[in-house]
Protein backbone atom coordinates (compact mmCIF):
# COMPACT_ATOMS: atom_id res chain seq x y z
CA UNK A 1 0.00 0.00 0.00
CA UNK A 2 1.26 3.47 -0.91
CA UNK A 3 0.37 5.58 2.10
CA UNK A 4 2.07 8.69 3.44
CA UNK A 5 1.40 10.06 6.92
CA UNK A 6 2.84 13.32 8.25
CA UNK A 7 2.35 15.23 11.49
CA UNK A 8 3.87 18.68 11.88
CA UNK A 9 3.48 21.13 14.76
CA UNK A 10 4.84 24.67 14.83
CA UNK A 11 3.98 27.82 16.74
CA UNK A 12 1.58 28.66 13.86
CA UNK A 13 -0.01 25.35 12.83
CA UNK A 14 -0.67 21.80 14.01
CA UNK A 15 -1.25 19.55 10.99
CA UNK A 16 -1.94 15.86 10.49
CA UNK A 17 -2.25 14.46 6.98
CA UNK A 18 -2.55 10.94 5.62
CA UNK A 19 -2.86 10.12 1.93
CA UNK A 20 -3.44 6.80 0.19
CA UNK A 21 -2.41 7.06 -3.45
CA UNK A 22 -4.43 3.96 -4.35
CA UNK A 23 -7.70 5.04 -2.78
CA UNK A 24 -11.18 5.80 -4.06
CA UNK A 25 -11.38 9.54 -3.41
CA UNK A 26 -12.74 9.44 0.14
CA UNK A 27 -11.74 12.36 2.32
CA UNK A 28 -12.09 13.87 5.75
CA UNK A 29 -10.86 17.45 5.56
CA UNK A 30 -10.83 20.20 8.19
CA UNK A 31 -8.26 22.89 7.46
CA UNK A 32 -10.00 25.71 9.32
CA UNK A 33 -10.27 27.54 5.97
CA UNK A 34 -13.64 26.92 4.32
CA UNK A 35 -12.68 27.53 0.70
CA UNK A 36 -9.50 25.49 1.08
CA UNK A 37 -11.52 22.59 2.54
CA UNK A 38 -13.45 22.66 -0.75
CA UNK A 39 -10.23 22.60 -2.80
CA UNK A 40 -8.70 19.71 -0.81
CA UNK A 41 -11.93 17.69 -0.96
CA UNK A 42 -12.20 17.98 -4.73
CA UNK A 43 -8.46 17.28 -5.06
CA UNK A 44 -9.03 14.00 -3.20
CA UNK A 45 -12.07 13.07 -5.27
CA UNK A 46 -10.64 13.87 -8.70
CA UNK A 47 -7.27 12.26 -7.92
CA UNK A 48 -8.91 9.18 -6.36
CA UNK A 49 -6.67 9.73 -3.35
CA UNK A 50 -8.01 8.88 0.10
CA UNK A 51 -7.16 11.90 2.23
CA UNK A 52 -7.40 12.67 5.92
CA UNK A 53 -6.34 16.25 6.66
CA UNK A 54 -6.67 18.26 9.85
CA UNK A 55 -5.14 21.65 10.54
CA UNK A 56 -5.38 23.81 13.62
CA UNK A 57 -3.84 27.07 12.49
CA UNK A 58 -3.57 30.71 13.49
CA UNK A 59 -6.37 31.80 11.16
CA UNK A 60 -7.02 34.75 13.49
CA UNK A 61 -3.93 36.20 11.80
CA UNK A 62 -4.91 35.09 8.29
CA UNK A 63 -4.99 31.85 6.28
CA UNK A 64 -1.43 32.05 4.96
CA UNK A 65 0.35 29.85 7.51
CA UNK A 66 -2.30 27.13 7.34
CA UNK A 67 -2.37 26.93 3.54
CA UNK A 68 1.41 27.04 3.14
CA UNK A 69 2.05 24.48 5.89
CA UNK A 70 -0.58 22.13 4.45
CA UNK A 71 1.34 22.32 1.17
CA UNK A 72 4.53 21.34 3.00
CA UNK A 73 2.84 18.40 4.75
CA UNK A 74 0.96 17.14 1.70
CA UNK A 75 4.16 17.25 -0.35
CA UNK A 76 6.02 15.24 2.30
CA UNK A 77 3.16 12.74 2.52
CA UNK A 78 3.22 12.24 -1.27
CA UNK A 79 6.96 11.71 -1.20
CA UNK A 80 6.69 9.20 1.65
CA UNK A 81 3.87 7.31 -0.11
CA UNK A 82 5.86 7.07 -3.36
CA UNK A 83 9.00 5.69 -1.72
CA UNK A 84 11.57 4.86 -4.41
CA UNK A 85 8.93 5.57 -7.10
CA UNK A 86 9.38 2.20 -8.77
CA UNK A 87 7.04 1.55 -11.67
CA UNK A 88 5.28 4.92 -11.68
CA UNK A 89 4.38 6.78 -14.86
CA UNK A 90 6.38 9.75 -13.51
CA UNK A 91 4.74 12.22 -15.91
CA UNK A 92 1.20 13.52 -16.08
CA UNK A 93 -0.59 16.35 -17.86
CA UNK A 94 -4.05 17.65 -18.65
CA UNK A 95 -5.88 20.59 -20.16
CA UNK A 96 -8.98 20.87 -18.01
CA UNK A 97 -12.09 22.99 -18.61
CA UNK A 98 -14.15 24.48 -15.78
CA UNK A 99 -16.95 26.46 -17.41
CA UNK A 100 -15.25 29.49 -19.04
CA UNK A 101 -11.92 28.55 -17.48
CA UNK A 102 -9.26 26.39 -19.14
CA UNK A 103 -6.25 25.20 -17.11
CA UNK A 104 -3.11 23.42 -18.30
CA UNK A 105 -1.26 21.36 -15.71
CA UNK A 106 1.80 19.12 -16.16
CA UNK A 107 4.04 17.34 -13.66
CA UNK A 108 7.32 15.47 -13.66
CA UNK A 109 8.02 13.52 -10.47
CA UNK A 110 11.67 14.26 -11.01
CA UNK A 111 13.32 14.78 -7.63
CA UNK A 112 13.83 18.41 -8.68
CA UNK A 113 11.67 21.14 -7.17
CA UNK A 114 10.44 23.60 -9.78
CA UNK A 115 7.15 25.49 -9.95
CA UNK A 116 6.08 27.46 -13.01
CA UNK A 117 2.80 29.14 -12.05
CA UNK A 118 1.33 31.34 -14.79
CA UNK A 119 -2.07 32.31 -13.42
CA UNK A 120 -3.64 35.67 -12.77
CA UNK A 121 -6.83 35.95 -10.76
CA UNK A 122 -9.28 38.77 -11.59
CA UNK A 123 -10.02 39.27 -7.87
CA UNK A 124 -7.83 39.34 -4.77
CA UNK A 125 -10.27 37.22 -2.79
CA UNK A 126 -12.72 34.35 -3.19
CA UNK A 127 -15.03 35.04 -0.28
CA UNK A 128 -12.52 35.60 2.52
CA UNK A 129 -9.79 33.48 0.88
CA UNK A 130 -6.77 35.33 -0.57
CA UNK A 131 -6.24 34.12 -4.14
CA UNK A 132 -2.46 34.60 -3.82
CA UNK A 133 -2.47 31.64 -1.42
CA UNK A 134 -3.11 29.24 -4.31
CA UNK A 135 0.42 29.82 -5.57
CA UNK A 136 1.79 29.68 -2.00
CA UNK A 137 0.26 26.23 -1.54
CA UNK A 138 1.80 24.89 -4.74
CA UNK A 139 5.20 26.45 -4.01
CA UNK A 140 5.25 24.68 -0.64
CA UNK A 141 4.04 21.39 -2.13
CA UNK A 142 6.70 21.46 -4.85
CA UNK A 143 9.53 22.26 -2.41
CA UNK A 144 8.68 19.40 -0.07
CA UNK A 145 7.76 16.78 -2.71
CA UNK A 146 10.60 17.78 -5.10
CA UNK A 147 8.49 17.65 -8.27
CA UNK A 148 8.45 19.86 -11.34
CA UNK A 149 4.98 21.37 -11.74
CA UNK A 150 3.62 23.68 -14.43
CA UNK A 151 0.23 25.36 -14.01
CA UNK A 152 -1.00 27.79 -16.64
CA UNK A 153 -4.34 29.53 -17.07
CA UNK A 154 -5.28 29.45 -20.75
CA UNK A 155 -8.56 31.29 -20.16
CA UNK A 156 -10.83 32.26 -17.29
CA UNK A 157 -12.78 35.18 -15.83
CA UNK A 158 -14.21 33.83 -12.58
CA UNK A 159 -11.75 33.47 -9.69
CA UNK A 160 -13.65 30.58 -8.09
CA UNK A 161 -13.71 28.67 -11.39
CA UNK A 162 -10.00 29.35 -11.94
CA UNK A 163 -9.02 28.03 -8.50
CA UNK A 164 -11.30 25.02 -8.80
CA UNK A 165 -9.98 24.28 -12.28
CA UNK A 166 -6.42 24.42 -10.96
CA UNK A 167 -7.01 21.95 -8.14
CA UNK A 168 -8.98 19.56 -10.34
CA UNK A 169 -6.27 19.70 -13.00
CA UNK A 170 -3.59 19.14 -10.35
CA UNK A 171 -5.50 16.12 -9.01
CA UNK A 172 -5.91 14.49 -12.42
CA UNK A 173 -2.30 15.20 -13.34
CA UNK A 174 -0.95 13.69 -10.13
CA UNK A 175 -3.27 10.69 -10.48
CA UNK A 176 -1.70 9.92 -13.87
CA UNK A 177 1.88 10.53 -12.73
CA UNK A 178 1.73 8.30 -9.63
CA UNK A 179 -0.14 5.48 -11.37
CA UNK A 180 1.76 2.24 -11.81
CA UNK A 181 2.81 1.43 -15.38
CA UNK A 182 2.62 -2.36 -15.64
CA UNK A 183 5.20 -2.33 -18.45
CA UNK A 184 7.79 -0.80 -16.11
CA UNK A 185 7.44 -3.50 -13.50
CA UNK A 186 9.82 -2.65 -10.66
CA UNK A 187 11.90 -0.17 -12.66
CA UNK A 188 12.62 3.36 -11.54
CA UNK A 189 11.63 5.55 -14.51
CA UNK A 190 14.95 7.33 -14.95
CA UNK A 191 18.20 6.66 -16.82
CA UNK A 192 19.96 7.66 -13.59
CA UNK A 193 18.33 4.77 -11.75
CA UNK A 194 17.01 7.07 -9.04
CA UNK A 195 14.50 9.88 -8.75
Determine, yes or no, domain membership for 189: no
CA-to-CA distance for 151 and 1, rounded, in angstroms? Answer: 29
Is 46 in contact with 173 (CB distance < 8 Å)? no
Determine, yes or no, domain membership for 195: no
Question: Which secondary structure element, helix H or strand E, spans residue 93, and what is its range?
Answer: strand 91-98
- Taking CA atoms, 127 is separated from 35, 124, 159, in Å, by 8, 10, 10
CA-to-CA distance for 191 and 184, rounded, in angstroms? Answer: 13
Determine, yes or no, domain membership for 187: no
Q: Is 149 helix (H, G, I), strand (E, B) or coil?
A: strand
Determine, yes or no, domain membership for 194: no
Using one digit for the tens of pLDDT, what is the confidence trace for 64-101?
Answer: 999 999 999 999 999 999 998 889 999 999 999 999 99
Confidence of residue 189 (pLDDT cuts 50, 70, 90): low
Determine, yes or no, domain membership for 190: no
CATH number at residue 51: 3.30.230.40
Instruction: Give Cα 42 to chain centroid, integer Å.
Output: 11
Adjacency order of strands within the sheet including 13-20: 3-9, 13-20, 50-57, 27-30
Determine, yes or no, domain membership for 140: yes
Arithmetic mean of pLDDT, 174-192: 80
CA-to-CA distance for 173 and 38, rounded, in angstroms? Answer: 18
Q: Are strands 27-30 and 50-57 parallel, antiparallel or unpaired?
A: parallel
Q: Is 50 helix (H, G, I), strand (E, B) or coil?
A: strand
Is 162 in contact with 69 (CB distance < 8 Å)? no
Domain of residue 23: give its range.
Answer: 3-178
- Output the pTM of the full model: 0.94
Using one digit for the tens of pLDDT, what is the confidence trace for 4-25?
Answer: 999 999 999 999 999 999 999 9
Number of domains in the chain: 1
Amino acid sequence: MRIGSISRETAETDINVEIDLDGTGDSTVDTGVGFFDHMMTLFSRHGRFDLTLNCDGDTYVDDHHSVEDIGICLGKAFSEALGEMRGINRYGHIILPMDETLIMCAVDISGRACLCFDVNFPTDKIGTFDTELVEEFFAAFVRSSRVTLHIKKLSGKNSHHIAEGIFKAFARTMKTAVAIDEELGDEIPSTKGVL
